[in-house]
Amino acid sequence: MAAGSLRNNPNSSNFWYNLTGGDFSFYNKKSTPRFLENLLGQSNELFKDCNNSMIPAFENTCRNSWDNQTNKECMLTIARTCNTTLGKAIQELVERQRYELQRKCMAL
């Protein structure tokens, strides 16, 4: 399929995002996807499907050591799964990658 072919032939896609308004129940009776990126910074809403008493723990798990900000991928992972362990794995990877980048830059 050529690039842009869905734009030229929209009937080839079941997911017309601009037409469904985020309601995919016509195509999927089991679940409706949640797009959470716009909820970053709104912890209560972001973690509404999780245990709200865990929000401070979620935020601490995802806090960057270098700027004290929360890492968005870590936060989104926890919000989608309500699993701190998965978020911690993401955050540890980010911290390692940052350390390696800094180490390589200092070696130059």
The one-digit pLDDT tens for each residue of the chain (108 residues) are: 444 554 566 555 555 455 555 555 555 555 555 678 989 999 999 999 899 999 999 999 999 999 999 999 999 999 999 999 999 999 999 999 999 999 999 887
Q: Answer positive or negative: Cα dihedral of 56, 59, 63, 68.
A: negative
pTM: 0.67
Name the residue ranges covered by the structural domains of the chain.
1-33, 36-107
The helix/strand/coil state of 51 is coil
Residue written as token pair 């362990």: 85
What one-character-per-residue DSSP string does 25-80 give?
TTT-SS------GGGTT-HHHHTTTS-GGGHHHHHHHTB-TTT-PBPHHHHHHHHH
